[in-house]
Amino acid sequence: MSNSHPYASFQDVSLEYPNGTIGLSKANLSINEGEFIALVGPSGSGKTTLLNTLAGFVHPTTGSVSINGQVVADESIFVPPEHRHLGMVFQQHALWPHMSVGRNVEYPLKQTKTPQDERRRRVNWALKLVGLEGFSDRNPSELSGGQSQRVAIARAIVAQPRMLLLDEALSALDEPLRESLRLELRHMTIDLGLTTLHVTHDRGEAIALADRIVMLDHGHIRQIGTPDDLLNRPADPIVASFFDDATLFEGQCDNGIFRTHKPSFHIPTRLLQTEDGMPEGPGTLAVLPDAMTLVEDSIWRENTAVSPDMDTSSLLSGTVMTSLYGPQVNTVVVKADDLTLRCHITGARPRQGEHVGVRINKGIFYPGNKLPRRT
């Protein structure tokens, strides 16, 4: 995939609603042909707004949107959705109950006045592609949830669109069906060479499907990168907190020690990752769940015992709020003062209400006086 000629692009796209709410703020994104992009972020982050701006359901206030070199939206141009030649699948598959499966899938082709023989051929092709060959005469009421979503996908691709847009398309399905459809969807988009933009609230789904992930927060794009980038190199504390369940500590690096006061703990700066060499001054420490170790609360060490050349932090004293079993690691939520820490541990799980010590093994330091504003 080449970055020199993006298939779709957003250039300084902002969207402000009539009530003054900011939907997007100077969003810039280039999507390569055949690339699978996942949009993630908390509710209200702007991920569906970004997709709808590409689809043509909303008109950006400023900036421009292009598809295959053609500007489809800017301050003076607006190409309506039906002329953008995009396929779209929603969370609710929205099949017409009075139409058969085949007629549901055929509908986009009738809108473009495709000849009947070609319509029949394309419908059969699309249904076969999603594993529903022979279902053309079925009534939608006879279908399971997974089959209905397959029909919705077939309807989206039957007109051979330039791009496929998915808005929480799999979120209404139960596991393991959802996992199965993920695999089939990824295989299909690769086989067809489809450029895909997928909105999901499921971080695991984004990691499994996407070539690149776009993390949004309150209309701002916080980071664009591969799944590995967001997992191991989050761009700022907000990305680390949302995408990796990191615990955030505000504090100060001074003389080789990072110190925070509530809850109180110290950690040598040599254990911290930063882009600016040796950490110094105020900033935010992001600690990922697998960077913490639980110990018995009786093994207590005074914070003052930590020195810059040590390989461990002082201990945080906390109380276990939740303890959940997992196939690879267990998730334990610990309350320390007013802060909630999410830890991944192996072995025996502590009981709810048990007092434990938490040791920080490493962290990512972001310089600055305070957490980034979530405008």
Across 348-370, average pLDDT: 88
Give the C-alpha distances (Å, rounded to integers) separating 227 from 45, 211, 218, 223.
Answer: 19, 7, 21, 11
Say what the pLDDT of residue 302 is.
45
Average per-residue pLDDT for the chain: 89
> Cα 78–81–85 angle (5° rounding)?
115
Quick one: residue 12, left, alpha or beta (phi over 0 = left, psi -120 to 50 = alpha)? left
Give the C-alpha distances (Å, rounded to integers) separating 221 from 49, 109, 165.
Answer: 12, 36, 19
pLDDT bucket at 369, cuts 50 / 70 / 90: low
pLDDT bucket at 299, cuts 50 / 70 / 90: low
Say what the pLDDT of residue 328 is.
87
Strands (E), 190-345: 195-199, 212-217, 220-225, 247-254, 257-261, 264-268, 272-273, 281-287, 292-296, 315-324, 330-336, 339-345
Q: Which two tokens stand for residue 204?
A: 């695991």
CB crowding 112-129: b at 16 or more within 10 Å, else e: eebeeeebeebbbebbeb
Give the lowest-confidence range in 162-171, 293-302, 317-326: 293-302
Asked whether 285 and 363 are in contact (CB, 8 A), the reply is: yes
**pLDDT tens digit sequence for 229-253:** 999 899 999 999 999 999 999 999 9
pLDDT bucket at 25, cuts 50 / 70 / 90: very high
pLDDT bucket at 303, cuts 50 / 70 / 90: very low
Asked whether 16 and 22 are in contact (CB, 8 A), the reply is: yes
Has residue 149 got a pLDDT over 90?
A: no
Question: What's the predicted TM-score (pTM) here?
Answer: 0.87
Domains of the chain from N-terminus onward: 8-232 (3.40.50.300), 245-367 (2.40.50.140)
Has residue 208 got a pLDDT over 60?
A: yes
Say what the pLDDT of residue 261 is.
78
pLDDT bucket at 270, cuts 50 / 70 / 90: very high
Give a three-class secondary structure readout of 130-161. CCCCCCCCCCHHHCCHHHHHHHHHHHHHCCCC
Q: Which two tokens stand for residue 208?
A: 């499994």
Nearest to 263 by CA among 316, 341, 320: 316
Q: Which residue has the higher pLDDT, 169 or 291?
A: 291
Give the C-alpha distances (Å, rounded to integers) separating 62 from 55, 75, 190, 222.
Answer: 16, 6, 33, 19
Across 270-282, average pLDDT: 87
Q: Which two tokens stand for residue 294?
A: 């639980």
Has residue 370 got a pLDDT over 70?
A: no
What Rg, from alpha-carbon coordinates, does the chain have?
A: 25
Give the C-alpha distances (Å, rounded to integers) separating 66 from 28, 30, 34, 79, 114.
Answer: 12, 9, 16, 10, 26
Give the lowest-confidence range in 37-41, 63-67, 182-186, 199-203: 182-186
